[in-house]
Amino acid sequence: MAEDPQATPANENTQDPEAQVEQMFEYGYRKSNYGPDELVTDSHGNPISVVDAMLKPQDAAKMQTSTPHLCYYSPRIPGNTGSAIRLCAVTGTILHLVEPLGFNLKDTKLRRAGLDYHDMAHVVLHPNFESLVESMPDSRIIAFTAHATKLYTEVEYRPNDILLFGPEPGNIPDPTDIMFGPHVAEQVRLPMRPSLRSLNLTNCASIAIYEAWRQLGFQGGE
Edge-to-edge strands of the sheet including 162-165? 123-126, 95-98, 69-73, 162-165, 141-144, 184-189, 150-151
Residue 52 three-state SS: helix
> Known binder of ligand: residue 198?
yes
The contacts of residue 50 (CB under 8 Å, 6+ apart) are 39, 40, 105, 106, 120
Annotation-wise, does 131 bind a ligand?
A: no
Q: Distance between terminal CA atoms of the chain? A: 66
Q: Is 25 exposed, middle or buried (0-12, 13-18, 19+ CB in 10 A)?
A: middle
Question: Distance between CA atoms of 209 and 203, rounded to whole angstroms?
Answer: 10
Residue 190 assigned ligand-binding role: yes
Please give the annotated binding residues, written as ranges: 166, 190, 198
Please give the annotated binding residues for S-adenosyl-L-methionine, written as ranges: 166, 190, 198
